[in-house]
Amino acid sequence: MPIPIVQTRNLTKIYVRDVIGTEFGRLKIRLKNRKVAALKSLDLDVNEGEIFGLLGPNGAGKTTAIKVLMGLIFATEGTATLMGKPLGDKSVKASIGFLPENPYFYDYLKGYEFLNYYGQLYGMSAAARRKKIPELLELVGLSHAEDLPLKGYSKGMLQRAGLAQALLNDPKIVFLDEPQSGLDPFGRKEIRDLILSLKEKGATVFFSSHILADAEVICDRVAILSKGRLMNVGAMDEILSARIKAYEIEAMNLSEDMVSELEKMSERFIRRTKTVLFVVEKEEIALAIVKKIIASPGHLVSYTPRRETLEEFFIRNIEPQNV
């Protein structure tokens, strides 16, 4: 067993908010404590070198978990270690990169100045900064904006700047809270590629996301949170493959009689411009349909046994939280 690079045990966070409210509609102001259990007894192990996805609907506690790990807020209960050391260890912080959710930075700084300042905080020498910063700006596609104050950055540009600052120190672990939010499809793909290249370099990537399709493609393992509780954790195919599969059969040039006959056999039927698509759950029926298509004058275009997508898993298992 490899040593987990991130480990949490019984990690619990209860937010206590002081709310000034009126009682029973009367003007009697009193201080109430409203408690929100954002994280309930979370046990996680993330292995070195893997891409780990923290998934869950809005308000599930993803950001809370990352903030506790980053030492921004303190857990109400439980413990966590990063690289085997307790949270807040400075030598560990030196090899961590962190991109917060919807990041915001000093808007009076120019792109280059911003990275230069953060490089100083990492304790990088002037020479190292001079070398690293242009590389990173290039990597995240912000070379053209290095002299522009962050005030003038778009949401996606800020996200990229945030990513650049998280990579200044060639981190061993990168924590990314929704790295793809605010990015266009190109940007999302770039991030995906970037995460994969980080893994290639041996870094561990811990990220939270809503974009399940992307998480599905790149994650080695995922944890699924709902209402602060860990629902599921494991390799993507462990979580998904055990569940029902669907079979998709696409065909063309079928006679109308044939189409209506097959439609009756399948769970779902979709008519496309040139082809028709049958979706069935049982393998025997799928094979029967395929045989009929082959025997007919029509053509079989494709036959795809499909695993359940993460999205379907989500919708089936997790009710949206009332935030």
Partner 1 sequence: MSKIWAIAFNTFKEAVRNRILYILLVFALLIMASSGIVGELTISARERIITDLGITSINFFGLLIAIFVGIGLVYNELDKKTIYTIVTKPIDRHQFLIGKYLGLLLTIYINILIMVFFFLAVIYYQGYMDFDVMSKALWVEQANGEWASPTVISYFMYYAKAIVFSLAKAFGTLTLLYHSPLTQGILLVVFYGCLELAIITGFAILYSSFSTPTLSAMLTVLTFIIGRLNADIIVFADRMKEKGFETSTQKMKYIFAWVAAHVTPNLWLFNRRTSLAVDNVEIRLEAYPVLYGILYSAAILYLAVHIFRKRNFK
Ligand X SMILES: Nc1ncnc2c1ncn2[C@@H]1O[C@H](COP(=O)(O)OP(=O)(O)OP(=O)(O)O)[C@@H](O)[C@H]1O
Q: CB of residue 64 vs Mg ion: minimum separation in angstroms? A: 8
Query: What does the chain come to in residues?
Result: 323
Q: CB of residue 157 vs ligand X: minimum separation in angstroms? A: 21
As given in the structure block, the two tokens for residue 309 are: 């997508």
Cβ atoms within 10 Å, residue 155: 12
Q: Which of 67, 104, 107, 102 is nearest to 87 (CA)?
A: 67
Burial 183-222 (b: 16+ CB within 10 A, else e): beeebbebbbebbeebbeeebbbbbbbebbebbbebbbbb
Full 3-state SS string of 166-197? HCCCCCCEEEEECCCCCCCHHHHHHHHHHHHH
Q: Please count the residues of this chain forming the interface with ligand X, following the rule CB under 6 A.
A: 14
> Is residue 71 a contact partner of residue 100, using CB atoms and an 8 Å limit?
no
Q: Which of 45, 48, 89, 101 binds Mg ion (CB under 5 A)?
A: 101
Q: CB of residue 12 vs partner 1: minimum separation in angstroms? A: 14
According to CB under 8 A, which residues from 18 to 77 bind partner 1?
Answer: 67, 70-74
Q: Which stretch binds ligand X (CB under 6 A): 59-67, 153-161, 232-240, 295-303?
A: 59-67
56 contact, one of Mg ion, ligand X, partner 1, none, CB 5-8 Å limit per kind: ligand X
> Is residue 6 a contact partner of residue 44, using CB atoms and an 8 Å limit?
yes
Instruction: Select 8 or 266, whichever has its Cβ closest to partner 1.
Output: 8
According to CB under 6 A, which residues from 88 to 117 bind ligand X?
Answer: 101
Q: Which of 270, 264, 317 is nearest to 288 (CA)?
A: 264
Q: CB of residue 164 vs ligand X: minimum separation in angstroms? A: 22
Task: Please state, in angstroms and as integers, the Cα–Cα distance from residue 206 to each residue in 6, 8, 181, 209, following that order.
Answer: 9, 13, 16, 10
Exposure on the CB side of residue 144, measured as CA atoms within 13 A: 4
Rg, the chain, Cα only:
25
Q: Which of 63, 81, 226, 266 binds Mg ion (CB under 5 A)?
A: 63
Q: Which stretch binds ligand X (CB under 6 A): 52-60, 147-155, 190-198, 301-309?
A: 52-60
CA gap 4, 84 in Å, rounded? 8
Q: Which stretch binds ligand X (CB under 6 A): 62-70, 131-139, 154-162, 188-196?
A: 62-70
According to CB under 8 A, which residues from 69 to 98 bind partner 1?
Answer: 70-74, 90-91, 93-94, 96, 98
59 contact, one of ligand X, Mg ion, partner 1, none, CB 5-8 Å limit per kind: ligand X
What mask of x and - would describe binding to partner 1 in positions 139 to 178, judged by CB under 8 A? Answer: -----------------------x--xx------------
Determine the residue type at 68: V
Q: CB of residue 183 vs ligand X: minimum separation in angstroms? A: 16
Binding site for ligand X (CB under 6 A): 15, 17, 36, 38, 56, 58-64, 101, 323
Binding site for Mg ion (CB under 5 A): 62-63, 101
Binding site for partner 1 (CB under 8 A): 15, 67, 70-74, 90-91, 93-94, 96, 98-100, 103-106, 108-109, 117-118, 120-123, 162, 165-166
